[in-house]
Structure 1
Amino acid sequence: MSCEASKQIFILSGQSNMAGRGGVIKYTDTHHHQHKKWNGVVPSECQPHPSIFRLDAHLHWEQARDPLHVDIDAHKVCGVGPGMPFANVVKERVGGSLGLVPCAVGGTAITKWARGEHLYDDMVKRAKAAVENGGGEIKALLWYQGESDTLTEREADAYKGSMEKFVCDVREDLDLPLLPIIQVALASGDEKYIEKVREVQLGMKLPHVVCVDAKGLKLNDDNLHLSTEAQIQLGQLLADAYLCHFHPASS
């Protein structure tokens, strides 16, 4: 598929709530085995648009549509995430061509996103390919991760240092020292340690790092993943944060 030469590129990374589980439902087959599938419902806020693209698993641009992470978080069932509602708001207010680079993988702790780990290296590779394969500029990294770091006190205590190193490393490796990073404060996780991780997310003092809070957004029946409705709200919150802090003329 051909696309415009210059795109506003956004990296979507983290774990399952960034990959999207909105509309993922359980069903039982004729042998009484339980499975999951996406219900296929695409709300108006998530509709594809000719000027919104995604980088597929083979580093090719194609028109973006949910599930954005279908070939990235490939071992899980993906549904609606925040990427499409985010992109539609930004497109409406800023115009031009947008490129989304899905990188999120469910169930991944922050240690799996350290420099040298496969997920981190693949994210950097994909971000560089997004610029090289068609041109454009990386505008921001959208980051929703941390549920897997609320399971033990040790992991929660280590989160601040790990997250700060992640920010510094990704900026260095992409040669973007002030890359805007918009992270999401957790809506779910282990009750014992979720507030420790949320405190880190809401209190980060690094330059050009802002946080939107997902707490209170509606969860699926699993009490872990955001519903489709909540993913739309989150995408709009992320867009508002980007436009307010990093594209103020459009906010």
Structure 2
Amino acid sequence: MRSNLRAAALLAFTFAAGALAGALVMRRADKPAPSPRPEATIPARVALPPEHLGALSLFVLAGQSNMSGRAPLPNPLPSAIPGVYVFGNDGRWHEGREPVDFAEGQIDDVSADPGAGAGPAAAFAAALRDKRKDRPIGLIPCAKGGSSLAEWRRHLGDHTLYGSCLKRARAASTAGTMAGVLFFQGETDAMDPALTAADAHPDPTNWAAAFESFVRDLRRDLGAPDLPVVFAELGPQPKDGRFPAWERVKEQQRAVTIPGVTRIHTDDLPLGDAVHFGMEGYEAIGKRFAEAMDGLLQR
């Protein structure tokens, strides 16, 4: 009898431990992935007009969920932005509108972001297009919700975020010239390591050095040593206890000093949930990205 009770207790403990371990490696603060979107909501494929072939100013969009966007899609969906195109995760050109980082037809599963909604990229493209009406724009979404900066370190394999992004940037380059990078990341690095996935390895004390390495590596691999980069500082401090290193990461972000790299702030903007911005915040971030990028492009 005692033997059976001990066995039952051991089995219960094993299940409980497994459940706890599973909870600890869940992907951070990102929302659960929804079902695939109706095809009508995905930006339509387009053939680039002859006058825009080879003339696009291309911008890589990297980082985590606040770069890909987590605001609900507007209803009705906005019209395509004239002269703006998205090099989708399916490796095809699409009209320039939300959702920019759609996962339908994803080629490289490592960067699939089925939870993506509206974000700052479309507002960035629209604002920059207003400033530079003579240059059509191509957006290359590479961001991955919940990714740490360690997951963006240089690795050329298609199964890595860096390698997948580099491959798509090179493929899109047949339609234009690499003009800049937008980067928004840091939430996972600010999180309690016990709550992050095993492959995240967040290190809030090394964010600045790791980001500077990322910029140097990407510039070298794209053959653009002076490629402009604009990155966003973390937003308002979350009110829950999952992000004990939030201010440490922000201090690291303020310590980044690389020529041709500019930081924008976001902590004065309204959030839609614990760490993600709403549509109002994303539109403001997009405009700040555009203002900063335009300043770098004029140098």
CA contact (8 A) 1:76 1:106 kept: no
Once the two structures are TM-superposed, the CA of residue 245 in structure 1 deviates from its matched residue by 2.8
Root-mean-square deviation (CA, aligned residues, Å) is 1.9
Once the two structures are TM-superposed, the CA of residue 119 in structure 1 deviates from its matched residue by 0.4
Q: Which residue of 1 aligns with 2:136?
A: 97
Q: Distance in 2 between matches of 1:8 and 1:75?
A: 24
Alignment size in residue pairs: 228
The gaps in structure 2 that reach 5 residues or longer are 1-45, 194-201
Once the two structures are TM-superposed, the CA of residue 194 in structure 1 deviates from its matched residue by 1.1
Map residues 1-251 of structure 1 onto 2, 5 A cutoff: 1-3=46-48, 4-5=52-53, 6-23=55-72, 38=73, 40=75, 42=77, 47-71=79-103, 74-95=112-133, 96-116=135-155, 118-132=160-174, 134=175, 136-152=176-192, 155-188=203-236, 190-220=242-272, 222-247=273-298
Aligned-partner SS, 2:124? helix
Once the two structures are TM-superposed, the CA of residue 151 in structure 1 deviates from its matched residue by 1.8
The gaps in structure 1 that reach 5 residues or longer are 24-37
Q: Distance in 2 between matches of 1:167 and 1:129?
A: 19
CA contact (8 A) 1:145 1:184 kept: yes
Percent of matched pairs sharing the same residue: 29
Bigger radius of gyration among the two: 2
Per-residue CA shift, 1:178-218, capped at 9, x if unaligned?
11110000015655211111122122111111000011211
- Structure 1 length normalisation: TM-score? 0.85
> Partner amino acid for 1:182?
V
Q: Which residue of 2 aligns with 1:33?
A: none
Give the number of the structure whose residues are more often strand, by fraction: 1
Q: Distance in 1 between matches of 2:243 and 2:163?
A: 31
Per-residue CA shift, 1:145-201, capped at 9, x if unaligned?
110000248711121221111111111111111111100000156552111111221
Once the two structures are TM-superposed, the CA of residue 39 in structure 1 deviates from its matched residue by 5.5
> Partner amino acid for 2:294?
L
